[in-house]
């Protein structure tokens, strides 16, 4: 029922869109290869835009956040904790929408021949992950869940590409990462999952906009959020087609993307009180872990007014 309602109301355009279109509004949007641009194009929701999008492709979410902070982008997307890390540093940005994936698709991997069989074997081990985001949080939360102190394992701050090489080379013992890296590692490199984020992480990816874009390009930003919501719902009903087309764009194996999309079941969310409460709990833990530099009031970091089309009758 939620998805049907979301799809129906997402088709609606706010009344101010026409005026902005006449003024040739330009949205500068940060993306990654195989990300939101390709999703909109594959699903057909990139057509007939009442404004212009200038896409900028980045290798990861971190530089998207840097560009948003610098004011060279209007809109981007990133994981919940990575967003809060930059927001905590004073960046003039807000989360205005987002998606949720199955938390089990954040996972800690080991090599096939590793003696590590579960999270209980991580004590004293060297575990890689992204600093300030899902990777570091999953490592710390998993250690805590297993009854270990955080300093009873060594955290190696590595991005996904370097961490993959390090795991295969044996210079790290485990790797905390997300899809499609999990599916690639398990299907192509025979890696094993020994822990996942179930019950530990919200696994939310936020659509993020600058305060300036929210104030000056609101109708265009709202329309983009609506289109991304519709496109994401489309992808849930066309997983095979989505994987095939994204594989052609990214050169990633189609079977890897299909496995990743089927596992993630990524769906749009409204930023409501429940989401704020959930992310606040994760934020508080991240502060306790030292991932966030200060306590964050998540309610002030989000702008729920972009939920209006979702909640309309």
d(CA 308, CA 186): 40
Residue 117 phi, psi (nearest 5): -110, -25
What is the average pLDDT across 91-101?
Answer: 97
Structure tokens at 101: 């994936």
Give the chain's length: 313
103-196 CATH fold: D-Maltodextrin-Binding Protein; domain 2 (3.40.190)
Per-residue pLDDT at 261: 97
The domain locations on the chain are: 2-102+203-311, 103-196
Would the pLDDT of 149 be above 60?
yes
Q: Could you give the percent of the chain with pLDDT greater than 90?
A: 86
Pairing of strands 154-157, 204-210: unpaired
Label residue 10 by pLDDT band (50, 70, 90).
Answer: very low
2-102+203-311 CATH fold: D-Maltodextrin-Binding Protein; domain 2 (3.40.190)
- pLDDT single digits (tens) 177-192: 999 999 999 999 999 9
- pLDDT single digits (tens) 229-276: 999 999 999 999 999 999 998 899 999 999 999 999 999 999 999 999
Structure tokens at 53: 């999008």
Task: Determine contact, residues 47/1, Cβ cutoff 8 Å.
Answer: no
Write down the pTM of the prediction. 0.86
Per-residue pLDDT at 5: 37
Average of per-residue pLDDT values in the chain? 91
Task: Determine contact, residues 20/219, Cβ cutoff 8 Å.
Answer: yes
């Amino acid at each position: 029922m939620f998805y049907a309602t979301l799809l129906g109301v997402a088709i609606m355009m706010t009344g101010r869109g026409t005026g902005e279109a006449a003024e040739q509004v330009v949205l500068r949007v940060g993306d990654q290869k195989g990300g939101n641009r390709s999703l909109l194009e594959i699903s057909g929701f990139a057509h007939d835009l009442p404004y212009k999008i200038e896409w900028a492709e980045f290798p990861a979410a971190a530089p998207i956040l840097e560009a948003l902070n610098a004011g060279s982008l209007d809109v981007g997307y990133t994981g919940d904790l990575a967003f809060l890390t930059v927001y905590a540093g004073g960046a003039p940005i807000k989360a205005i929408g987002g998606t949720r994936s199955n938390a089990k698709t954040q996972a800690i991997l080991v090599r096939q021949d590793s003696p590590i069989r579960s999270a209980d074997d991580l004590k004293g081990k060297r575990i890689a992950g992204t600093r300030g985001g899902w990777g570091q949080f999953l490592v710390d939360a998993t250690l805590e869940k297993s009854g270990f102190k955080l300093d009873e394992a060594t955290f190696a701050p590595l991005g996904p590409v370097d961490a993959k090489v390090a795991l295969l080379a044996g210079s790290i013992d485990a790797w905390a990462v997300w899809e499609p890296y999990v599916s690639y590692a398990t299907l192509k490199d025979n890696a094993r999952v020994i822990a996942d984020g179930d019950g530990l992480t919200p696994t939310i990816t936020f659509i993020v906009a600058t305060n300036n874009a929210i104030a000056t390009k609101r109708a265009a930003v709202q329309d983009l959020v609506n289109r991304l919501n519709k496109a994401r719902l489309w992808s849930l009903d066309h997983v095979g087609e989505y994987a095939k087309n994204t594989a052609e764009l990214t050169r990633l194996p189609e079977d890897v993307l299909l496995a990743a999309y089927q596992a993630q079941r990524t769906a749009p969310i409204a930023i409501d009180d429940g989401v704020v409460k959930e992310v606040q709990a994760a934020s508080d833990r991240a502060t306790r872990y030292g991932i966030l530099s200060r306590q964050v009031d998540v309610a002030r970091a989000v702008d729920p007014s972009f939920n209006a089309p979702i909640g309309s009758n």
